[in-house]
Amino acid sequence: MGKRVLLIEDEPNIIEAISFILSRDGWTVHTHEDGTSAMDKVLALPPDMIILDVMLPGRSGFDILRDLRSHEMTQQTPVMMLTARGQDKDRDLAMRLGANLFMTKPFSNTEVRDQVRHLMET
C-alpha cells in the first residue's frame, strides 16, 4: 500500500500546492479542513503522516496535536506543523506537545517534499 498523508489545512492554495507536490512524490494525500472533526478523520483511516495547520476553524492545531499524542493509535505518527505565525513561542509549544517538525508559511514546495521525506526516513 502507498504512503498516506493527511493534510489538515483550511487554505485552498496551500492544500492544492502540498497535495500536488506530495502526489507527484508518490503519496496519497487526503485532506481535511476543520479542526473540530479532525480527530475523527485521523482515526477513520490512520495516515502514515499528518501535516497539521496551527490555525484551523473549530479547534487549533495545538489542541489536535495534544489529542494525537494522547491517543494510542497516533502517538507515534509523524506530525509536521504549519503556521503563518513563526513566533518562537509557537514553535516551542508545538515541539513540547510532540510535533516532529514545525514549518513557517510561506515555504517552498521542495522544502515541504524534502522534510516529509526526511520525517518518513527517520
**18-68 pLDDT, tens digit each:** 999 999 999 999 999 999 999 999 999 999 999 999 999 999 999 999 999
105: confidence class by pLDDT, cuts 50, 70, 90: confident
Domain edges within the chain? 3-121
Q: Are 58 and 37 in contact (CB under 8 A)?
A: yes
Domain 3-121 bears CATH identifier 3.50.50.60: no
- Identity at 68, one-letter amino acid code: L
Tell me the whole-structure pTM to 2 decimals: 0.95
At 2, the pLDDT band (50, 70, 90 cuts) reads low
Half-sphere exposure of 50 (CA within 13 A, CB side): 32
